[in-house]
Amino acid sequence: MKKIVNYIFLLLFSLLTLGIVLSCKEKRGELIRIWFNGSYNRDFNDLNDLHLSSAKTLGIEPVASREKAKHASRKMKEIRSNDYYDVEELTHSIPFLVPEAEKLLKDIGTNFQDTLKNHNAPLYRLLVTSITRTTEDISKLRKRNFNSSLNSAHLYGTTFDISWNRFPKVDEKDTLNIPAEDLKMALAMTLRDLQKAKRCYIKHERKQGCFHITVRKES
């Protein structure tokens, strides 16, 4: 009789443990709401003078053409698509950044995916839409858009743009899709943390659909 009682007790304990484990798994799979409790325009409104000041301190001397970029005043790192971000086909910039800016971009990408993981969301990559511009690139842009700045922080290898309305999905087979506006909020949370840590200056570009980001000198 005692053996039977012990067997029933072990069986009930096993079922209870299994239920707890399954319950935990279900909770881990639940999508947590993504919410940015701030204002894009107010929180990311660092003026061009701040971007330029940091760019001139950390960056290269502006180069005239893509060929001359190979002999820039500072060695730069090539920016290629990877697990954390895709580099869009660049028509008016070149895929090179000074090491400090390259590290910042990598940190933004990894931190963004960590934010998604913390919300039990499927993973997405960032889309880098513009990087370093030559004076030749700036001239071409001015022909298309006269309002383009001649003295852009993009000239110094310290600055890049990240789209806030387009996000490539890591696993296309994953049927759970996150709206672009939620992904923008996840990106904004990531950027605000780095901004508060004084790692970068950020401008929310509404018309261009991107965050304009310049690396800062770490204190």
Are residues 129 and 163 in contact, defined by beta-carbon separation less than 8 angstroms?
yes
User: Which tokens in the block code for residue 142?
Assistant: 């001015």
Strand intervals (E) in the chain? 77-78, 85-87, 96-97, 126-130, 159-163, 200-205, 210-215
Other CB atoms within 10 Å distance of the CB of residue 206: 10
Q: Identify which of 113, 218, 200, 196 has the alpha carbon closest to the alpha carbon of residue 160.
A: 200
Contacts by residues 176-185 (CB-CB < 8 Å, ≥ 24 positions apart): 176/31, 176/121, 176/122, 177/122, 178/34, 178/116, 178/121, 178/122, 178/124, 182/34, 182/121, 183/34, 183/124, 184/36, 184/40, 185/34, 185/35, 185/36
Cα–Cα distance between 141 and 171 in angstroms, integer? 35
Per-residue pLDDT band at 148 (split at 50, 70, 90): low
Cα–Cα distance between 119 and 187 in angstroms, integer? 13
Per-residue pLDDT band at 146 (split at 50, 70, 90): very low
Q: Identify which of 194, 129, 199 has the alpha carbon closest to the alpha carbon of residue 163.
A: 129
Per-residue pLDDT band at 3 (split at 50, 70, 90): low
Per-residue pLDDT band at 68 (split at 50, 70, 90): confident
Of 24 and 50, which is predicted with more confidence?
Answer: 50
Per-residue pLDDT band at 66 (split at 50, 70, 90): confident
Query: Per mean pLDDT, which range of 87-91, 110-114, 145-149, 157-161 is the poorest?
Result: 145-149
